[in-house]
């Protein structure tokens, strides 16, 4: 049942009289793209000074505090503030409400100030905590309002990246690419729209997509994602340590209690409900299904997890091996017709209510299959950039081969390359850039097995290729 604190202590949000539960105004937020363009360092969200600035109601924060004390036991004020990732001055008022309502008791601490007080549940508080847990078992950093997340997404949009040839080459330095490839990739990155990369397997399509992500990390810098946001009283977790690479400096292990107190009481610092991350590069392949593009509801805990493509906002979402997913290309197109055009998506909660969210990511479709067998003209029209990756000619192949020799600390052998062309490539096998890496690693393994120095020869290449390529004959 809704907490009775709601009627007493509701606070409106900071930018207009809106609550944390209101729907965002997408049109007002889009102007942030223009403001951010040319600025590779989006500003960090500033820590709130009050519940109003936090965009949360007192009732909501009270429930979070009760659930924290219920699951963790008695806690110091500073620990409660750290758990909720809110300044202590924001949680002070809800704690006072809970104390006056005889839900918690307060014991003095060893340090000066309320941050050192110990808070614990009384019987009434325990009952209300149980009720709150039944409604939603989420315990952790306080969520940000959906509107704040939307606004931040547009501030750090991929469409604001500056891209020019000199800056683009560095992240691709480990790849051997022709100049025309850079001329195709650069405008695609600047557009921030969708890219379709196609061509035979083993020629670096996935590596190119990852290098685009590296370029974004280098040029676009860090972005900020919330641990969670709240929309229509539904909590949706966003930060995923398995997909997002945190970019914050590690905390000082020697930090004393006084330093912790000063941090909790300081003003103008970063809002700790957000995590600074590198621009995400999320790769999915044949495992992708339409169900992964919807909110995932935890029926026991009663909160949601953002879908996989949602977590790629501000970065790259690579659909590798396009055409081999659990859903057909047509089904995926039907799901993303609106997001690809309008750069926003809709997520649906269990009640059936929909809310609008940004679709601010560079979508890359990579396939080894013939595009004409996969998609129709309607799909191709919505994919702004098409980049074909062809099998490398001999001069490029030799450069790739030499680069892999250097990487593995191995001598370059022109005779080994001659053998591959005489035995395989001149007889119908299509050259693959990946052959260089795979064959040389087999040579390395053979040498180590025989306890001999790694030294590339024609005979070793013949032995390695007989093992690797035999199945294709």
Of the residues 358, 388, 418, the one at which a domain ends: 388
State the pTM of this model.
0.80
Are 13 and 134 in a shared domain? Answer: yes
Please report, rounded to a whole number, the percentage of residues in the chain having pLDDT higher than 90: 45
Instruction: Tell me which residue range forms the domain holding 426.
Output: 394-472
- The residue among 94 and 183 whose pLDDT is bigger is 94
Average pLDDT value over all residues in the chain: 82
pLDDT at 381 over 70: yes
The answer to whether residue 131 sits within a structural domain is yes
pLDDT, tens digit, 9 for 90 and up, residues 75-125:
999 999 999 999 999 999 999 999 999 999 998 754 456 788 899 999 999
pLDDT at 431 over 70: yes
Are 465 and 317 in a shared domain? Answer: no
Q: Provide the domain count of the chain.
A: 3
- Tell me how far apart the 2 most distant CA atoms of the chain are, in Å: 87
Separation between Cα atoms, residue 194 and residue 323, nearest integer Å: 16
Confirm if 136 and 66 have CB atoms less than 8 A apart. no
Separation between Cα atoms, residue 3 and residue 179, nearest integer Å: 63
pLDDT at 447 over 90: yes
Tokens 């100049």 sit on residue: 179
- The residue among 53 and 183 whose pLDDT is bigger is 53
Local structure of 88: helix, strand or coil: helix
b/e map of 355-378 (b: 16 or more CB within 10 Å)? bbbbbbbbbbbbbbeebeebbeee
Confirm if 225 and 239 have CB atoms less than 8 A apart. yes
Weakest mean pLDDT among 82-86, 130-134, 177-181? 177-181
The pLDDT assigned to 41 comes to 60
The answer to whether residue 176 sits within a structural domain is yes
Of the residues 107, 140, 173, the one at which a domain ends: 140
pLDDT at 1 over 50: no
Weakest mean pLDDT among 111-115, 133-137, 205-209? 111-115
Weakest mean pLDDT among 87-96, 188-197, 296-305? 188-197
Residue 364, token pair as written in the block: 């890359």
The pLDDT assigned to 443 comes to 95
CATH of the domain at 177: 3.40.50.300
Are 369 and 428 in a shared domain? Answer: no
The pLDDT assigned to 264 comes to 52
Are 11 and 72 in a shared domain? Answer: yes
Are 382 and 408 in a shared domain? Answer: no
Separation between Cα atoms, residue 341 and residue 352, nearest integer Å: 24
Of the residues 369, 388, 407, the one at which a domain ends: 388
The pLDDT assigned to 73 comes to 94
| DSSP codes of every residue in 123-162 | HHHHHHHHHHHHH----SSPPEEHHHHHHHHHHT-GGG--
């Amino acid at each position: 049942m809704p907490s009775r604190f709601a009627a007493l202590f509701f606070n409106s949000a900071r930018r207009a009289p809106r609550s944390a539960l209101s729907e965002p105004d997408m049109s007002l937020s889009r102007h942030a793209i223009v403001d951010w363009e040319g600025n590779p360092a989006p500003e960090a969200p500033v820590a709130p000074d009050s519940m109003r600035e936090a965009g949360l109601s007192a009732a909501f924060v009270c429930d979070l505090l009760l659930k924290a004390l219920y699951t963790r036991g008695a806690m110091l004020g500073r620990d409660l503030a750290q758990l909720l990732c809110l300044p202590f001055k924001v949680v002070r008022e809800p704690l006072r409400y809970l104390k006056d309502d005889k839900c918690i008791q307060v014991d003095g601490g060893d340090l000066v100030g309320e941050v050192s007080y110990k808070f614990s549940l009384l019987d009434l508080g325990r009952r209300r905590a149980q009720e709150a847990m039944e409604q939603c078992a989420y315990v952790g950093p306080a969520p940000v309002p959906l509107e704040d997340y939307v606004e931040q997404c547009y501030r750090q949009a991929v469409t604001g990246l500056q891209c020019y040839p000199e800056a683009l080459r560095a992240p691709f330095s480990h790849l051997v690419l022709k100049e025309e490839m850079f001329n195709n990739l650069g405008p695609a990155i600047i557009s921030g729209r969708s890219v379709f990369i196609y061509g035979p397997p083993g020629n670096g399509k996935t590596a190119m997509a990852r290098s685009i992500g590296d370029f974004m990390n280098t040029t676009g810098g860090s972005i900020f994602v919330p641990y969670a946001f709240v929309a229509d009283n539904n909590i949706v977790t966003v930060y995923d340590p398995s997909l997002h690479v945190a970019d914050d400096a590690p905390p000082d292990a020697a930090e004393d209690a006084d330093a912790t107190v000063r941090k909790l009481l300081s003003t103008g610092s970063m809002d700790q409900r957000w995590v600074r991350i590198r621009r995400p590069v999320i790769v999915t392949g044949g495992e992708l299904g339409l169900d992964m593009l919807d909110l995932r509801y935890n029926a026991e805990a009663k909160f949601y997890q953002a879908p996989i493509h949602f977590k790629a906002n501000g970065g790259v979402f690579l659909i590798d091996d396009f055409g081999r997913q659990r859903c057909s290309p047509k089904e995926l197109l039907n799901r993303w017709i609106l997001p690809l055009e309008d750069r926003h998506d809709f997520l649906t909660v269990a009640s059936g209510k929909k809310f609008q969210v940004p679709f601010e990511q560079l979508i890359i479709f990579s396939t080894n299959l013939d595009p004409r067998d996969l998609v129709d003209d309607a799909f191709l029209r919505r994919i702004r950039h098409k980049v074909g990756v062809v099998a490398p000619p001999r001069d490029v192949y030799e450069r790739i081969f030499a680069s892999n020799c250097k990487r593995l600390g191995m001598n370059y052998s022109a005779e080994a390359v001659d053998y591959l062309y005489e035995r395989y490539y001149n007889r119908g096998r299509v050259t693959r850039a990946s052959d260089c890496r795979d064959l040389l690693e087999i040579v390395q393994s053979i040498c180590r097995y025989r306890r001999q120095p790694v030294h590339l020869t024609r005979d070793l290449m013949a032995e390695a290729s007989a093992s690797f390529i035999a199945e294709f004959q």
